[in-house]
C-alpha cells in the first residue's frame, strides 16, 4: 500500500511539473510578443516591491493593459491566465472583465468615460520565467487580482486570489439574470442554513455586515480574534458543506494546484477551521451579509454589502504562501546571490 501511495504521489508531482512547464512556455511566448517598450512596462525583478502592490479597485497600476496589446498579444496573455486557473475560474475572470461594460451602462457613463473600462486590466511578470528560476506574475484590475508564484517548475502560490462583481446579479438589460459569483453566495448560505439555533449563536459574530472584506489589500492577511464555529463542532453533513464551500474558492485554480492546496489545508488541521457570519441571514438583494472561513493555513472572505447588497467581494489568502511566501523569497535571494 505504501509503495502504491508513493507511486501515485510521484505521478502527481510529475503531472504538476509538466503543467508548470507549460505555464513557463506560455509566459515566455507572451513576453516574446512584446516590444522593447512594452517589456519595460511589463517586466519587474522578482524582489521588486511592486509584487506586493495588491488591490482590486479601479486605480492607476503598473503593468501592461489590454488597451496596449494587439490581438495576438492579448490572446497570449489570456492563454497564460488560462494555464493557471480552472475552467470555471477562468470563466469567472473573463465575465468580470466583461461586467465593466455592463456596469458602465448601469451607471449611465458617457462613452468617453474610461473609469469602467474592460481594457484596463494589467499583466505584470516578476523575475525570469524558466524551469530553473523563481518567478511569478500578476493579473489585476477592477474586481480581479491574482498573484501567481513559481519555484522552478512548481506553482507554489496563487494568492492573493480576489474576485468581485458589481452588480452581483444583473437586474436589467440584455444580461438580466447574469450572476457571476453565484456559487460563492449559495454555498455560504447553504452551510449557514444547515446550522441549529445553538450553532448559529457561535457562528453569527455580528448582526451588521462589515463594509468590506477585513483583509482588504493588506500584505498580512491574518484576522484576530479568531471567532466562529469550528469544523469539529459540526455534524458530518455540515462538515461536508464547509468543505464544499472551501472548494469553491480553491478550485478557482487548476485541478492539480487545487488538490495540493487542499492537501495543505487538511494537513494543517480541519478540526480548527472556523466559519463566521455577520449581517443578514436572508439570501436576497438588499440584505447585507459577510462570511469567512478561517483555518491555520488560509482565510476565505466574502462580503456583499455595497449597492444595496448587490455587489460582492471575495478572496482567498494563503497565510504561508501569499505572494509566494517568505521561503520562496529567501530561495530567490540565495540563488540570486549565488549567481
Q: What is the pLDDT of residues 239-295, one digit of tens each?
A: 999 999 999 999 999 999 999 999 999 999 999 999 999 999 999 999 999 999 999
- The DSSP symbol for 1 reads -
pTM: 0.92
What residues contact 67, with CB distance under 8 A and at least 6 apart?
117, 119, 120
- pLDDT category, 326, cuts 50, 70, 90? confident
- pLDDT category, 5, cuts 50, 70, 90? very low
Q: Would you say the C-alpha torsion 202, 190, 304, 220 has a positive or negative sign?
A: positive
Residue 24 scores a pLDDT above 60: yes
Interatomic CA distance for residues 290 and 276, integer angstroms: 8
pLDDT: which is higher, 123 or 5:
123
pLDDT: which is higher, 270 or 337:
270
- pLDDT category, 11, cuts 50, 70, 90? very low
Residue 16 scores a pLDDT above 70: no
Give the model's pLDDT for residue 339. 52
Give the model's pLDDT for residue 31. 98
Q: With DSSP H G I counted as helix, E B as strand and the rest as coil, what are the percentages for the chain, rounded to 5?
A: 45, 20, 35
Residue 250: phi and psi, rounded to 5, are -65, -35
Amino acid at each position: 500500500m505504501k509503495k502504491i501511495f508513493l507511486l501515485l504521489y510521484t505521478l502527481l508531482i510529475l503531472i504538476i511539473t509538466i503543467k508548470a512547464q507549460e505555464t513557463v512556455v506560455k509566459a515566455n511566448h507572451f513576453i516574446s510578443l512584446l516590444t522593447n517598450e512594452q517589456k519595460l512596462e511589463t517586466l519587474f525583478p522578482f524582489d521588486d516591491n511592486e509584487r506586493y502592490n495588491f488591490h482590486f479597485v479601479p486605480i492607476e497600476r503598473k503593468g501592461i493593459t489590454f488597451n496596449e496589446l494587439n490581438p495576438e498579444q492579448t490572446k497570449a496573455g489570456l492563454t497564460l491566465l488560462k494555464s493557471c486557473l480552472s475552467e470555471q475560474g477562468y470563466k469567472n475572470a473573463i465575465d468580470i472583465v466583461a461586467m465593466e461594460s455592463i456596469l458602465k451602462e448601469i451607471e449611465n457613463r458617457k462613452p468617453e468615460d474610461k473609469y469602467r473600462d474592460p481594457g484596463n486590466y494589467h499583466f505584470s511578470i516578476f523575475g525570469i520565467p524558466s524551469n530553473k528560476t523563481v518567478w511569478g506574475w500578476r493579473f489585476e484590475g477592477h474586481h480581479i487580482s491574482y498573484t501567481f508564484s513559481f519555484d522552478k517548475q512548481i506553482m507554489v502560490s496563487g494568492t492573493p486570489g480576489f474576485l468581485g462583481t458589481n452588480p452581483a446579479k444583473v437586474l436589467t438589460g440584455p444580461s438580466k439574470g447574469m450572476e457571476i459569483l453565484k456559487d460563492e453566495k449559495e454555498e455560504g448560505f447553504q452551510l449557514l442554513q444547515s446550522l441549529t439555533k445553538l450553532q448559529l449563536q457561535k457562528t453569527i459574530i455580528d448582526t451588521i455586515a462589515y463594509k468590506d472584506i477585513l483583509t482588504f489589500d493588506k500584505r498580512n492577511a491574518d484576522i484576530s480574534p479568531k471567532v466562529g464555529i469550528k469544523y469539529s463542532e459540526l455534524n458530518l453533513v455540515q462538515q461536508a458543506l464547509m468543505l464544499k464551500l472551501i472548494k469553491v474558492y480553491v478550485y478557482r485554480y487548476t485541478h492539480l494546484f487545487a488538490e495540493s492546496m487542499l492537501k495543505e489545508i487538511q494537513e494543517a488541521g480541519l478540526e480548527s477551521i472556523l466559519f463566521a457570519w455577520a449581517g443578514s441571514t436572508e439570501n436576497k438583494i438588499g440584505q447585507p451579509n459577510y462570511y469567512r472561513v478561517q483555518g491555520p493555513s488560509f482565510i476565505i472572505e466574502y462580503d456583499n454589502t455595497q449597492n444595496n447588497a448587490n455587489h460582492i467581494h471575495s478572496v482567498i489568502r494563503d497565510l504561508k504562501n501569499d505572494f509566494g511566501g517568505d521561503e520562496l523569497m529567501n530561495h530567490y535571494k540565495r540563488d540570486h546571490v549565488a549567481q
